[in-house]
Amino acid sequence: DQQVKQNSPSLSVQEGRISILNCDYTNSMFDYFLWYKKYPAEGPTFLISISSIKDKNEDGRFTVFLNKSAKHLSLHIVPSQPGDSAVYFCAALSRGFQKLVFGTGTRLLVSP
Amino acid sequence: DVKVTQSSRYLVKRTGEKVFLECVQDMDHENMFWYRQDPGLGLRLIYFSYDVKMKEKGDIPEGYSVSREKKERFSLILESASTNQTSMYLCASSLGLAVQETQYFGPGTRLLVL
Query: What CA–CA distance (Å, rounded) separates B101 from A97?
Result: 11
In a domain, B113, yes or no: no
pLDDT for A72 beyond 70 = yes
Query: What CA–CA distance (Å, rounded) separates A77 from A92?
Result: 20
The chain A residue lying nearest B44, using CA atoms, is A102
In a domain, B31, yes or no: yes
Of B42, B94, B108, the CB nearest to A104: B42
Q: Which chain B residues have a beta carbon less than 8 Å from that of A34?
A: 102
pLDDT for A38 beyond 80 = yes
Q: What's the pLDDT score for residue A44? A: 94
Best residue in A7, A98, A106, A107 for a mutation probing chain B (most B CBs within 10 Å): A98
Residue A75's contacts (CB-CB under 8 Å, 6 or more residues apart) are: A19, A20, A21, A23, A35, A47, A48, A62, A63, A64, A88, A90
Average pLDDT over residues B5-25: 96
Give A40-69 pLDDT, tens digit per residue.
888 999 999 999 999 999 999 999 999 999
In a domain, B69, yes or no: yes
What's chain B's average pLDDT? 92
pLDDT band, very low/low/confident/very high, at B15 (cuts 50, 70, 90): very high
Average pLDDT over residues A12-36: 95
Estimate to the nearest angstrom the gap between the alpha carbon of A83 and the chain centroid. Answer: 16
Q: What's the pLDDT score for residue A100? A: 86
What's chain A's average pLDDT? 93
Taking an 8 Å cut-off on Cβ atoms, the answer to whether B106 and A93 are in contact is: no
In a domain, B112, yes or no: no
Residue numbers of the domain that contains B42 = 4-105
Give B28-82 pLDDT, tens digit per residue.
999 999 999 998 888 999 999 988 989 999 989 999 999 999 999 999 999 999 9
CA distance B108 to chain A (A): 6
Q: What's the pLDDT score for residue B97? A: 61
In a domain, B19, yes or no: yes
Instruction: Please name every residue paired with A102 in a beta bridge, in sequence order, or none if there are none.
Output: A91
Instruction: Please name every residue paired with B56 in a beta bridge, in sequence order, or none if there are none.
Output: B48
CA dihedral A40, A46, A47, A48 (to 10 degrees): 150
pLDDT for B98 beyond 70 = no
Average pLDDT over residues B10-22: 97
Query: What CA–CA distance (Å, rounded) separates A58 from A62?
Result: 6
Average pLDDT over residues B1-15: 91
CATH assignment at residue B31: 2.60.40.10
Taking an 8 Å cut-off on Cβ atoms, the answer to whether B100 and A41 are in contact is: no
Q: What's the pLDDT score for residue B99? A: 53
In a domain, B114, yes or no: no
Query: What CA–CA distance (Å, rounded) separates A102 from B45?
Result: 9
- H helices of chain A, in order, are none
- All structural domains of chain A, each given as residue ranges with its CATH number in brackets, are 4-111 (2.60.40.10)
Q: What's the pLDDT score for residue A93? A: 86
Higher pLDDT, A42 or B114: B114
Q: What's the pLDDT score for residue A2? A: 77
DSSP A1: -
Query: What CA–CA distance (Å, rounded) separates B69 from B106?
Result: 19
Q: What's the pLDDT score for residue B2? A: 66
CA distance B53 to chain A (A): 17
Q: What's the pLDDT score for residue B100? A: 59
Higher pLDDT, B94 or B65: B65
Query: What CA–CA distance (Å, rounded) separates B19 from B21?
Result: 7
Residue B110's contacts (CB-CB under 8 Å, 6 or more residues apart) are: B9, B10, B11, B87, B88, B89
Taking an 8 Å cut-off on Cβ atoms, the answer to whether A98 and B107 are in contact is: no
Query: What CA–CA distance (Å, rounded) separates A39 from A105?
Result: 12
Q: 3-class DSSP state for residue A56?
A: strand
Report how many domains make up chain B: 1
Residue B28 touches partner A, C-beta closer than 8 Å: no
Ranges A6-20, A85-99, B91-105: which has the least confidence: B91-105
